[in-house]
Amino acid sequence: HEPTLREVIGKNIKIMLVVAGLKQSDLAQRMNVTEGAVSHWISGRADMGLTNLELVARVLHTTPAKLLAAPEQVAENCSRLIC
C-alpha cells in the first residue's frame, strides 16, 4: 500500500534519530512531550500537527520539508550526513 503522510513522517523521524544517535526518549524530553506521543508519531498512529512537526525538525537539525520527503531519499541523504 502507499504509505500515509503519518507513516512517511514517522519513518523519517526514525531514520534521523538513528543518524543523530538519539532515542525516542531523547526527542520526547527535548520537545517536552511524552515518549508515548513520540512513539505514536513514529508508528504513524497519531498526527503531530504543524507546531510539533516544526519542533521535531528543529531538534533534529533538519527542515519540515525533509521530514515530509520520501523515506528512501531521506535514508540516502542521511547516509551522506546531509539530513
Residue 81: the pLDDT is 66
Residue 4 has what DSSP assignment? P
Output the nine-digit C-alpha cell for 14.
526514525
pTM over 0.85: yes
Residue 76: the pLDDT is 83
Residue 17: the pLDDT is 95
Dist CA 62 CA 57 (whole Å): 5
Q: Are 71 and 12 in contact (CB under 8 A)?
A: yes
Q: Using one digit for the tens of pLDDT, what is the confidence trace for 48-71?
A: 999 999 999 999 999 999 999 988
3 SS3 class:
coil
Q: Using one digit for the tens of pLDDT, what is the confidence trace for 32-53?
A: 999 999 999 999 999 999 999 9
Q: How far is CA 22 from CA 1, 17, 59, 65, 78, in A?
A: 29, 5, 10, 20, 14
